[in-house]
Structure 1
Amino acid sequence: MADQLTDDDWAVWDAFYSMRRRLDRALEVRLQRQSGVSAPEYEILAGLGRSADRRLRVRDIAEQIGWEKSRVSHQVTRMERRGLVQRTDCDLDARGTWVELTADGRRAMLESSRGHNAAIKEYFVDVLGGGAEAQALLAFSERVLDAIGDDAIGDDAGPDAAGTEPGA
């Protein structure tokens, strides 16, 4: 059958899957150990750090990092308790709020970014090398992303799917 995987297909998949999971875990462990920031916190801090005015709405964070809005909202609540972010009223939409970096959040973002970038370089970039292998991986990644398309976008059937979640 055309949809059956061969032993070679499985070997390639298993190696790739194992590498990806272990790389994710190694990056997360190092991030937590060096800066005290979890991977979910880092994703939000980095997204806020890249925004022009260091603030985003929950729906924009969710879109940027591929999470459901409810997950982002819960994570932001935990980060508020740690003093990394704060919510402020959104002047564009009376129902919405901004999520903004605090001074502590900006420091955490900068510190964790340095260590995270160094880990990515050590575990991935330096191992991959440059040139043809990097270009091949880039082209391959883009083809996989094109094949996936919108299939990775989750259906959040809750009230925030329609953009009506308070504070989003």
Structure 2
Amino acid sequence: MSEVDWLDADEQRIWRSYLVVNSLLEERLDRDLQRRNGLTLVEYGILVHLSEAEGQRMRMRTLADTVIVSKSRLSHQVARLERDGHVRRESCSEDRRGSWAVLTAQGEKALREAAPGHVAAVRAGLFERLSDEQVKRLGEIMEIVERGLRGDEPR
């Protein structure tokens, strides 16, 4: 049995701080979107990704990977967005088991209405607290960590 490479005191402090910040920021953004616009943070993310996709449509499987949620959670969230008229599902002619999520005009409108408040909340919760240099360093760090976790770059 190999010995555990425990986190040192600084690493432990940083790790715990990261967990708290991630949780608090996500909770604050989710609560703000729900209060202002009746959307969850995940639903907002779905609308954003659909708005940026070619033809404002994405395969459900691809959307789940992009929004970083399980397929069952995505299905539940898309069903809610569909019920509210923001998204519609279309069958995929190439793959009978697959389906498309398509942004509707009502979904575009909901996104346009939610975006300014959401951007302001992101700025207030994260970027306004940092200097320009800190934002740059944070971006570099997040890129390195993301690439490593996605397996795009060896450590």
Q: Shorter-chain TM-score category?
A: 0.7 to 0.9
Q: Superposition pairs for residues 17-56 of structure 1, below 5 Å? A: 17-56=19-58
TM-score between the two structures when normalised by the length of structure 2 = 0.85
TM-score between the two structures when normalised by the length of structure 1 = 0.79
Indicate if the aligned counterparts of 1:46 and 1:113 stay in contact, CA closer than 8 A. no
Structure 2 CA distance for aligned equivalents of residues 104 and 49 of structure 1: 12
SS of the residue corresponding to residue 53 of structure 1 reads: helix
Structure ranking higher on relative contact order (CA contacts 8 Å, 6+ apart):
1
The residue type paired with residue 142 of structure 1 is E
Map of 2:147 onto structure 1: 146
Q: Superposition pairs for residues 61-72 of structure 1, below 5 Å? A: 61-72=63-74
Map of 2:98 onto structure 1: 96
SS of the residue corresponding to residue 101 of structure 2 reads: strand
Judged with a 3 Å threshold, the aligned counterparts in structure 2 of structure 1 residues 102 and 146 are, in CA distance, closer, same or farther, namely closer
SS of the residue corresponding to residue 55 of structure 2 reads: coil
Structure 1 CA distance for aligned equivalents of residues 75 and 123 of structure 2: 31
Map of 1:86 onto structure 2: 88
Judged with a 3 Å threshold, the aligned counterparts in structure 2 of structure 1 residues 70 and 2 are, in CA distance, closer, same or farther, namely closer
Map of 2:127 onto structure 1: 125
Q: How many residue pairs were aligned?
A: 149
Map of 2:109 onto structure 1: 107
Deviation at 1:95, TM superposition (A): 3.7
1:23-57, Cα deviation, whole Å (9 max, x unpaired): 11111111111111111211111111111311111
SS of the residue corresponding to residue 73 of structure 1 reads: helix
1:53-89, Cα deviation, whole Å (9 max, x unpaired): 1111101211211223232222212221122111123
1:87-141, Cα deviation, whole Å (9 max, x unpaired): 12334444432211222211111111221111111211111231x2122111211
Indicate if the aligned counterparts of 2:59 and 2:100 stay in contact, CA closer than 8 A. yes
SS of the residue corresponding to residue 98 of structure 1 reads: strand
Unaligned residue ranges in structure 2 (runs of 5+) = none
Structure 2 CA distance for aligned equivalents of residues 2 and 145 of structure 1: 24
Structure 2 CA distance for aligned equivalents of residues 49 and 106 of structure 1: 7
Is 1:75 the counterpart of 2:77? The answer is yes
Map of 2:135 onto structure 1: 134
Indicate if the aligned counterparts of 2:42 and 2:67 stay in contact, CA closer than 8 A. no
The residue type paired with residue 5 of structure 1 is L
